[in-house]
Amino acid sequence: MPETVVLTCLACGQGNRVPAEKLNSGPKCAKCGAPMFAANVAELDLKVHDKARRTDQLPLLIDYWAEWCGPCKMMAPEFAKAAQAIKPRARFAKVNTEQYPEISSRLNIRGIPLLILYANGREVARLSGARPAADIEGFVRQHL
């Protein structure tokens, strides 16, 4: 692992350089003070989504969901549980596809819930359908 890791603040979008040895001790955004590994899974707008998936130096798993989607809501606590289990090796966030419908055509999303894992500025893998925390965690670990 490099000495510093570039991470986008999922609250304000600010790029941060976090010393690798501080990843475990609750690093915070230099601009807004939000934790870089929040207890709650961050909801991203498209600006922060695009920046984080392109520039983050830790793997980023995004849950594409919508309010009307029952399985999405069922999976939310499982996703949050997996996020806590895997930090600080990767970060988890979510995007509401109902609020940002253009994302579905841009990323060719045909059904939700859909998880997309990004690393080193590109898409690494997709996992579709509602999954328990252990499956989500296993999916990410497989690509670390």
Q: Does 9 bind Zn ion (CB under 5 A)?
A: yes
Counting residues that bind Zn ion (by CB under 5 A) gives 8
Contact stretch for Zn ion (CB under 5 A) within 4-12, 19-27, 77-85, 100-108: 4-12
Q: Does 17 bind Zn ion (CB under 5 A)?
A: no
DSSP the chain: --SEEEEE-TTT--EEEEEGGGGGG--B-TTT--BSS-SSPEEPPHHHHHHHHHH-SS-EEEEEE-TT-HHHHHHHHHHHHHHHHHTTS-EEEEEETTT-THHHHHTT--SSSEEEEEETTEEEEEEES---HHHHHHHHHTT-
| Of 34 and 109, CB closest to Zn ion | 34
| Of 4 and 14, CB closest to Zn ion | 14
Amino acid at 76: A
- Residues 28, 5: Cα–Cα separation, whole Å: 13
Residue 72 catalytic?
yes
Contact stretch for Zn ion (CB under 5 A) within 22-30, 72-80, 83-91, 130-138: 22-30
Binding test (CB under 5 A) with Zn ion, winner from 31, 54, 89, 143: 31
- State the minimum distance, in angstroms, from the CB of residue 15 to Zn ion: 10
Binding site for Zn ion (CB under 5 A): 9, 11-12, 14, 29, 31-32, 34
- Catalytic site residues? 69, 72
